[in-house]
Amino acid sequence: MKILALMTLGCLTVMTACDKEEVREDPLIARGRVLFNSTEFDSAFGGTVSCASCHPGGDMDNKKWLLPQLAPDSLSTPTLFGLAQTAPYLWFGESNDLREVTRFVIEDILLGMVDSLQLDALVAYQLSLVVPANPWKNSDGSLTPAQERGRAVFEQQGKCIVCHSGPAFTNGQNIQVRPGALPANVPSLRWVFATAPY
C-alpha cells in the first residue's frame, strides 16, 4: 500500500491508495498472438509470411490474392474481427469450425505444420478480436438522421436485411451471386466502414 501526503489549507492530510492491480491477458490468447505474428508456419514463401502478414492486428491487408486451393479468381483478404459471430468461415463458407479453417490455412496455403496446442492458442486469439467502434455513429452510439433513413431503405425498400440480418448483419448462408459463379458466404456488414475493398 502506498502512503500519499497532501497539504490541504496548511494541514497535513494523509491519504492511502491501493496499488493498481495489473491486468493480465489470458495466457492462451497471448500465446496465440505470438504465433499469429510468427513466420514459423510458413514453408510456402521462404519463412517470410505470418498470419499477420495478411491480417495485421487481426484485420485485413486490403489486397486480393490468387489462392488456387480455393478459387480460380483472386480473393480479397477478409477481416478477422468478430469471428465469434460470423461463421461459416472462408470466402465460400466452407466450414463452421474455426480450428479446422486455421489448420487449412496453415497446412494448405502456408504449407506449414501446426500442432493441437498451437491451434488452441491461435483460435483463442482470433476469437478475442473485437469489432472496432463505428466512427460514423453519434458519440453515444446512436444513429444519425441520415443513418436512420438508410436503415429504413436497408430494411424495407432494399430488402438487404433478408441476407444481412442479426447482430452481425449476416445470415450465415451461402448464396449464388451470379449464374455460373461459386456460391459465396454472405459477409457481415457490421464493420463495413473498415473493410474495403468490397
172-194 per-position pLDDT tens digit: 888 887 777 777 888 888 778 77
Q: Above 60 in pLDDT, residue 147? A: yes
Cα–Cα distance measured from residue 37 to residue 43, given in angstroms and rounded to the nearest whole number: 15
**Cα four-point dihedral sign 163, 164, 170, 171:** negative
DSSP string for 104-118: HIIIIIS-----HHH
What is the rounded average pLDDT of the residues 153-177? Answer: 88
Q: Above 70 in pLDDT, residue 82? A: yes
Q: Check: CB of residue 182 under 8 Å from CB of residue 71.
A: yes
Q: Check: CB of residue 129 under 8 Å from CB of residue 58.
A: yes
Q: Check: CB of residue 35 under 8 Å from CB of residue 118.
A: yes
Q: Above 50 in pLDDT, residue 122? A: yes
Structure confidence at residue 1 (pLDDT): 45
What is the rounded average pLDDT of the residues 83-100? Answer: 90
Type and span of the H or E element at 16? strand 11-17
Cα–Cα distance measured from residue 85 to residue 90, given in angstroms and rounded to the nearest whole number: 13
Q: Above 50 in pLDDT, residue 42? A: yes
Structure confidence at residue 146 (pLDDT): 92
Kindly report which listed range (65-74, 77-86, 177-186) carries the lowest average pLDDT score: 177-186
pTM beyond 0.85: no
What is the rounded average pLDDT of the residues 66-71? Answer: 82
Q: Above 80 in pLDDT, residue 6? A: no
Interhelix angle for 116-127 vs 27-36, to 10°? 100
Mean pLDDT of the chain: 85
Q: Above 60 in pLDDT, residue 100? A: yes
Structure confidence at residue 176 (pLDDT): 82
Instruction: Report residue 126: phi and psi, to 5°.
Output: -60, -40
The cell numbers describing 78, all together, are 477478409
Cα–Cα distance measured from residue 97 to residue 63, given in angstroms and rounded to the nearest whole number: 25
Structure confidence at residue 198 (pLDDT): 75
In residues, how long is the chain? Answer: 198
Q: Check: CB of residue 103 under 8 Å from CB of residue 114.
A: yes
Q: Above 80 in pLDDT, residue 3? A: no
Instruction: Report residue 5: phi and psi, to 5°.
Output: -105, 125
Cα–Cα distance measured from residue 12 to residue 164, given in angstroms and rounded to the nearest whole number: 63
Q: Above 80 in pLDDT, residue 59? A: yes
Structure confidence at residue 23 (pLDDT): 64
